[in-house]
Structure 1
Amino acid sequence: MLPHPVTAEALADAAAEPDPGSLAAAQRLRRHHPPEVAAAALEQVTLRRRASGKFGDRAASLFFTRDGLEQATRPSVAAHHAGRFVLAGVRRVIDLGCGIGSDAMAFAEAGLEVIAVERDPHTAEIAAANLAGRAEVITGDAEEVADALIGAGDGVFLDPARRTTSGRLWRTEDFTPRWAFVTALLDGSRTVGIKLGPALPHREIPAAVEAEWVSDRGETVEVSLWSGPGSVPDSRSALIMPDHRLVADRTGGRPAVAGPGRFLYEPDGAVIRSGAITVLGEELGAWLLDDQIAYLSADRLTPTPYATAFEISEVLPYSEKILRRWVHDHDIGRLEIKKRGIDGDPAALRRRLKPAGDQEATMIISRTPVGARVLIGRRVR
């Protein structure tokens, strides 16, 4: 089933276009297809090519909307969501606000019965095309249909709409469905998963709910809230896909603060957002360079999936004159600049330093106990 008004012939013609977003491509397709069919096919091919970074080769057989692609769950993370329901003993999942169906597809592939709900009729049609009969898709408002759909033993998944035509929404009170509806689902009576943006403040997380920050391929992509069977109440954790988990210590302790050691660790975003940096510091025997900055340092190297390690060769004052001379003297051409807690644009600084040689280096700019310093590092692979 293809979403209206796309046809297989128009999709094939659009896929043959090197630049489906160009005026020339639109003119060529309109010679053989009605304007609305040509436009829809070109839009799908454009979105499929954009989606390849998130969905890989699978993108070529899926359908998207622009907003749906932005909010869609990566297949690996969706499979993780599905696995949580399976481990909790759930047999049917009610996916409230399914979008283009990325999570619903993973639920169905995991052997779960799925009812997917989407408020926007066009997006619901896209979801139905992607699910291809593997789940029931209902067009409706999650708040209005939830009571009628959710039965005893059902799991519930919800990815609230966090975008409008004006852009991304940041305040929970602006989400759809209403935040009060979302949090009411997390009462512990059934297995419930709520997918949210990773910047969700800890203060917004209801009591006794598990919060799991997820990083995939180096990018922190979400925080999911879980309650009911299969969840760990009142826990905060970082999950580095596929299976590295670091649970935060909720006692409020922090690592000591000291100057740079031989190695610097840049923790993964999920570790930072979950508050697990203290636990990571203990595992690495590391300290902070500044109490408010998420750089850890140590004198010995400990392999870890939770941070990127750099071996520090020099520590310089934060002076552009000194840095420019260092770049020149060391024949640096490929220069990576990282910073935390210091004002300024790394890209602009890099241009001013004028790297033009054959060597490469990483500069890490941070506050330290003795002021701003630049750590010259080599990424440890």
Structure 2
Amino acid sequence: MERTELVELLSPEGLRLLDSLPAYGTIDVVRAVSELRKAGHAAGLVAAALSQSRLRAKAAPKFDEFASRMLFTEAGLEQATRLRVAALHAGRFAGLRTDTDRPVRIVDLGCGIGGDAMAMAAIDLDVTAVDADEVTASVASYNLAPFPRASVVHSPAEDVNLDDFDAAWLDPARRTSGHNNTSRITRPEDYSPSLDWAFGLAQRMPVGVKLGPGHDRDLIPADAEAQWVSVDGQLVEMGLWFGALAREGIRRSALLLTATGAVEMTAEGDSDDAPVGELGSYVYEPDGAIIRARLIGDLARTLGAEMLSEGIAYLTAPTLVQTPFASAFRVLEVLPVDEKKLRLALQERRIGTLEIKKRGVDVDPAALRSRLKLKGPESATLILTRAAGHRVALLVERVR
């Protein structure tokens, strides 16, 4: 979204038009454009309204019913925190206390479209949202308008006077500038603001920092609590918490959010891996948050399991223990690793639909599936990995 589009959209006519549109997935866009133009709406306004309608539909998984009352940029939505996760961020700040009776004052530096600030304001925290991009700050202002204790400032994070705030939340921009077709930034020193600046701020006040889940673990400060968050099996972020926002005695955390609730595994640091054992009747695939937090060894010990092979994130055990922290698979057969023999084995079992999972082996599952020339009515799951250092092909069934 460009500035001129935003100005048009934020007019009374633009907002009425946007709110009058039916759900994006239910309309014929070409026909809608034609009808709206015939009704007298300017071409730019029609394009902006339909674009926002599309983004609102795309935002629904992150913002639920709130998406239908928000504005977005393409890049802002891409990096926005899911509302459910943002509520957990806000909960950390809600636990802070000041020396007076006044509410805790939080500054959200790099607020984007305002998702985290919305969650904070919704629980009556005083929050000032800051963004260096004019259009993004304007979008955040619109989204935060219903919350009287939230305000928005258009400014680089580094230029904000932080003396009036008790704590800070940072979601450094990890994409190139702009609102559409941006690309990912890989070097932390190029983030906006940079990580060195963010970590320096953490020496002055309680700070939370949102980063990508694949962020280099060697760059995690020793005094930070690092929490990896998984939503319905998808690893979505790593949060770093400093000062009073970090929990005592916890430096590694894996938090899993599912349809049935939240579960967490914590530790004072990386856990030691379990020993390598014999292939048992069950194989476990830990959730991505467990893997990134390096809590695989702790998980193994809770399951009575061992590593399937050194350095590979599969566990094995002779018996089944239900856990929310890993997917469990019952081992049906050990099949040949040789591709020709594997193809024959699958044909004999009339397997036409095959899920291929792999760790520790150089295999392209899509290309292999094509070469196997699968036919038949049966479905199966194949795990390609290593057991005690040797390649194995395991025919398994997922334990529901």
Alignment counterpart, residue 211 of structure 2, candidates 196, 219, 242 = 196
Tell me how far apart the structure 1 counterparts of residues 24 and 292 of structure 2 sit (CA, whole Å).
Answer: 42
Q: Deviations over 1:156-215 (max 9, x none)?
A: 10100001155111221110012221111222x432110000011111111211111111
CA–CA separation in structure 2 for the residues paired with 1:240 and 1:252: 18
Q: TM-score by structure 1 length? A: 0.92
Give unpaired runs (5+ residues) of structure 2. Answer: 99-103
Equivalent AA in structure 2 for residue 9 of structure 1: R
Do structure 1's residue 101 and structure 2's residue 114 form an aligned pair? yes
Moved more, 169-178 or 246-255: 246-255
The alpha-carbon distance between structure 1 residues 373 and 21, as it changes in their structure 2 partners (threshold 3 A), is farther
Name the residue aligned to 1:340.
359
CA distance in 1, matches of 2:79, 2:339: 40
SS in 2 for 1:293: coil
Partner residue, 1:240: 256
Please give the residue correspondences for 1:43-62 in structure 2 after superposition, counting only pairs within 5 Å: 43-62=51-70
Query: Shift of residue 80 of structure 1?
Result: 0.4
Query: What residue number does 2:191 align with?
Result: 175
Name the stretch that deviates more: 283-292 or 245-254.
245-254
Q: Aligned to 1:163, what secondary structure does the other structure show?
A: coil
Counterpart check, 1:35 vs 2:43: yes
Query: CA shift at 1:256, angstroms?
Result: 0.8
Residue 15 of structure 1 aligns to a residue in which SS?
coil
- For structure 1, the 5+ residue unaligned runs are none
Aligned to 2:22: 15
User: Pairwise CA RMSD of aligned residues?
Assistant: 2.1
Equivalent residue runs for 1:222-237 within 5 Å: 222-232=237-247, 235-237=251-253
Kindly report which structure 2 residues correspond to 1:267-306, keeping only aligned pairs within 5 A, or say none.
Answer: 267-306=286-325
Q: Which residue of 2 aligns with 1:163?
A: 175
Match of 1:364 in 2: 383
Match runs of 1:302-317 below 5 Å: 302-317=321-336
Contact 2:279 2:308 in 1 (8 A): yes
Is the counterpart of residue 212 in structure 1 residue 224 in structure 2? no
Q: Tell me the secondary structure at the aligned position of residue 37 of structure 1.
A: helix
Deviations 1:2-32 (A, max 9, x none): 9522113321454366577955544443333
Within 2, Cα distance between the matches of 1:252 and 1:358? 43
**2:274 pairs with 1:259:** no
Q: How far has the Cα of 1:223 moved from its partner? A: 0.4
Does the Cα contact within 8 Å between 2:23 and 2:53 map onto a contact in 1?
Answer: no
CA distance, structure 2, for counterparts of residue 105 and residue 324 of structure 1: 53
Aligned pair 1:327/2:330, yes or no? no
Cα distance per residue 1:207-246 (max 9 Å; x no partner):
2111111111111100000011141367011111253111
Q: The residue matched to 1:240 in structure 2 has which SS? A: strand
Say yes or no: does 1:124 pair with 2:137: yes
The answer to whether the aligner puts 1:139 opposite 2:151 as a matched pair is no
Query: Which residue identity does 2:110 align to in structure 1?
Result: G
Distance 2:364 2:391 in 1: 15
Instruction: Give 2:324's aligned amino acid.
Output: P
Asked if the contact 1:248–1:275 (Cα under 8 Å) also holds between the matched residues in 2, the reply is no
1:4 to 7, 15, 18: 7
TM-score, scaled relative to structure 2: 0.88
Q: Could you tell me how far apart the structure 2 residues matched to 1:318 and 1:236 are?
A: 37
One-letter amino acid of the structure 2 residue matched with residue 4 of structure 1: V
> Given residue 203 of structure 1, which amino acid in structure 2 is its aligned partner?
D
The alpha-carbon deviation at position 34 of structure 1 amounts to 1.3
* Separation of aligned partners in 1, 2:86 and 2:360: 34
Percent identical pairs in the alignment equals 44
Partner Cα separation in structure 2 for residue 20 and residue 70 of structure 1:
24
